[in-house]
Amino acid sequence: LNYMRNEFESLLVRMGMSLNSRIKQLVFMINQLDAIVSLYAERGVSGAAGSADQNRMDAEIGTFVEEELEDLYGPLVKLVKEVEERIKQPGAESEPQPVIPLSRAKPLVEGFASTWKQGIEKINVDVMGNFHKMKSGMEILKRTLTQLLLYYTRFLELVKKYCKESSSLSRDMVNIPSIIAEIKKYSRTF
């Protein structure tokens, strides 16, 4: 049974590779795994095969969330990851604190402020258009919007801490309650 499941998964991967973008490949794989996991649940199948497919689907969803946010907010996500990685490096305590230049932070703050509502709308359209099962689509939408909120919150904290001129950016920073309120418009179940 494991051999058959592994071969079937390999077939799905090969079929997905024929699609022309990473996002489309992820959508294909998630939708196929969702159908399999749903079928297992319907039939009362439990065990290693079902949990392996569920785990694989969760991993694919996590990758999709990251890809979706990289597509819309790549420079912001990249800055957060770079600075956090530098802070976490061994011996970082003895090195000078990282500095985020105003020339790098300002376009990100202003860009997010001018496009964040359209970005949330685009995420909603992309996710709900790609994942037709309402439960799965809403779960993926929830994960994507939550991750966006987390990245933006971390971004604000890093800018406030490591950008010397961050006070000049305060008026352009979108406050977190505004983002949460906008997210709630798109989330029917959370």
b/e 124-153 (16+ beta carbons within 10 angstroms → b) = bebbeebbeeeebbbbbbbbbbebbbebbe
List pLDDT tens digits, range 69-120.
999 999 999 999 999 998 888 766 666 677 899 999 999 999 999 999 999 9
CB 59 within 8 A of CB 65: no
List pLDDT tens digits, range 150-188.
999 999 999 999 988 888 898 999 999 999 999 999 876
